Amino acid sequence: MGFFDGNRLGGNEFGCSSVNMEEIDSFPIFKGAVISIAQQTQAPIELALSVVLSVVSLVCQYLIDVRRPWGSVGPVSLMIFSIALSGERKTAIEDIAVKALRAFEKKRKLSDSQKIREWSVLLELWERQKKKIQKKMLDESLTLSSYKQLESDLLVHAKSEPTRPPMFKMTHQDVTPAALSKALAQDCPSAALFTSEGDIALRGVVNQVGMMNALWSGSGLEVGRAYSGDFSLADVRFSIGIGVQPRVFEEYLERKGELGKASGFFARSLIFYPESTQGTRFIEGEVRIDLSRYEKRVEELLEENVRKFDARDSSKTVVGFSAEASEKLIWLHNKVEKEMRVGGSYERARDHASKLIENISRVAALLHFFESGGTEISVSELSSAEKIVMGCSVMYKNMFSFSPQVVTDADALISWLQARCDSPLFRRTKRNDVLQRGPAALRRATRLNRAVDYLVEKGRVKEVVYGRVAEIELI
């Protein structure tokens, strides 16, 4: 029995992430694009929202930072996971939402490719001159002064090596950590991992949760590689927009879930798991949609990204909050902080709670700037951003209040107990028997204790103690 089996995530025991579109009226261009794409594809509206929000994050993240009322200034990049069954039309949504971005990149690639070809020719000529000097230095009849002159010529020549022109490439689908580091350092310092086929990404760069966390925080990262060299990733921006099937996400959690939760990777992420529309997607005629305002704004922001990229200008416009919005954000912060106490709604998800206000302020800044290019977030815009992020927070709390490793261990324990206690007369097992003969992973007291605690809370077992003998009883 796995993490998604039975009534778990595969059937979505946890409920579905949902966003009331009437609550995001503050962002008309964004809202119009989301509704239009959802209508055209007949996919869940939250799925369309997650993809469009990923695009907004990418096209804005290198242009702005957000300043919170208490003075902290930081990046606005988002890490978004959209969990949806096969056939939910994740790819169709991405094709529409990212169309303008991909067309822009394709056009830019043509001019960049020409620059690379010109650089290759210059580099070849430079290499020839280098070899020519080196060949002269091999002449044994050279006087010391002549050799020193050639040595000086070689050093001067080394300084004239043609510099490879950077490539403007913002989107990646299948990329290794080394390749991503190199691309961010040498090419475009603002990028995103975009794919509706999440299995590719989850087997690759997303496994490097430490690197993902550092990029999300904007704290900078020093990367050393034996073959690709050393890179300093300072002032780079990186977003994630991944569509993934439940079973694929389960496999990732089994491999990296414990580390992902312990490191705060999932706490930083926005996780969407919308209710399926399959079985309701009836054709009632042609659907006409208008994405012109959305695509025009995406293109405007891409042009600004290119201008800053070509000028190697890393400065950011700082987006802040109005006085009223500042008061509300402080109130939200204190409210969440209070719920982290024992007995509070975030008692078991404190890592996630500590990032909630961060994500709310990021989404508010992104959508405000995307809509207007302004620098002051209103209270209504903050409220809309709050609704989006809190919808994802419900999913996180239900999925990760217990870590994926605990859930996996609990599944193994319950299966072993059921096989061992197959008679209604024998429903108990000594805890020491589990430690000695149970599943290999549970022969350590710490892991067994967590698994038992989880099953007790879920009402699957209870603990019985007779004197010094502790037993686990199936319910």
Residue range 334-347, pLDDT digits in tens:
999 999 987 788 87
| Other residues' Cβ atoms within 10 Å of the Cβ of residue 211 | 18
Q: What does DSSP assign to residue 2?
A: -
The arrangement of strands across the sheet holding 469-474 comes to 428-430, 469-474, 461-466
Residue 3 has pLDDT above 50, yes or no: no
Q: How confident is the model at residue 101 (pLDDT cuts 50, 70, 90)?
A: very high
| 459 burial type by CB count under 10 A (0-12 exposed, 13-18 middle, 19+ buried) | exposed
In this predicted structure, what is the pLDDT of residue 31? 95
What local confidence, expressed as pLDDT, does residue 456 receive?
82
Confidence (pLDDT) at 401: 63
User: Is residue 10's pLDDT more than 70?
Assistant: no
pLDDT of residue 404: 60
Find tokens 């997607």 and name the residue. 281
Q: Check whether 19 has a pLDDT greater than 80.
A: no
More confident position, 404 or 471: 471
User: Is residue 423 exposed (0-12), middle (13-18) or buried (19+ Cβ within 10 Å)?
Assistant: exposed
Cα-based angle 217, 385, 332 (whole degrees, multiple of 5): 80
Q: For 129-153, give one letter per residue: b (16+ CB within 10 A) or e.
A: eeeebeeeeeeeeeeeeeeeebeee
List the single range of 1-10, 38-47, 158-167, 325-334 with lowest mean pLDDT.
1-10
Say how far apart CA 269 and CA 256 lie, in whole Å. Answer: 15
Structure tokens at 157: 């020549």
Question: pLDDT value at position 86?
Answer: 85
Could you please report the per-residue DSSP string of 137-195? HT-TT--HHHHHHHHHHHHHHHTTPPPPPPP---EESS--HHHHHHHHHHS-SEEEEEE
How many Cβ atoms are within 10 Å of 5's Cβ, its own excluded? Answer: 13
- Residue 232, C-beta contacts closer than 8 angstroms, at least 6 positions apart: 185, 220, 221, 222, 223
* 236-271 tens-digit pLDDT: 999 999 999 888 887 777 776 666 767 788 899 999
Average pLDDT over residues 299-328: 96
- What is the per-residue pLDDT for 353? 93
Give me the chain's average pLDDT, please: 87
| Two domains, one topology: 21-106+168-281+288-400 and 404-474 | no
* Residue 4 binned pLDDT confidence (cut-offs 50, 70, 90): very low
- Structure token pair of residue 203: 């087997």
* pLDDT score of 462: 86
What is the mean predicted confidence (pLDDT) over 448-473? 84
**Res 172 pLDDT > 80:** yes
pLDDT digits (tens, 9 = 90+) for 102-149: 999 999 999 999 999 999 999 999 999 999 999 999 998 889 999 999
Per-residue pLDDT at 171 exceeds 70 = yes
CATH number of 21-106+168-281+288-400: 3.40.50
Domain ranges of the chain: 21-106+168-281+288-400, 404-474
Percent of the chain with pLDDT over 70: 91
**How far apart are the C-alpha atoms of 462 and 475, rounded to whole Å?**
7
Residue (of 32, 33, 60, 52) closest to 301 by Cα position: 60
| Tokens, residue 448 | 């067994």
Report pLDDT for 14. Answer: 44
Q: What is the CATH number of domain 404-474?
A: 1.10.10.10
Q: Is the pLDDT of residue 8 over 50?
A: no
Chain centre to alpha carbon of residue 382: 22
319 by Cβ neighbours in 10 Å (0-12 / 13-18 / 19+) ranks as: buried
Mean pLDDT of 202-212: 82
Residue 201 confidence (pLDDT): 81
Q: At what angle do helices 45-61 and 292-310 cross, to 10 degrees?
A: 30
pLDDT top residue among 430 and 200: 430
Percent of the chain with pLDDT over 90: 54
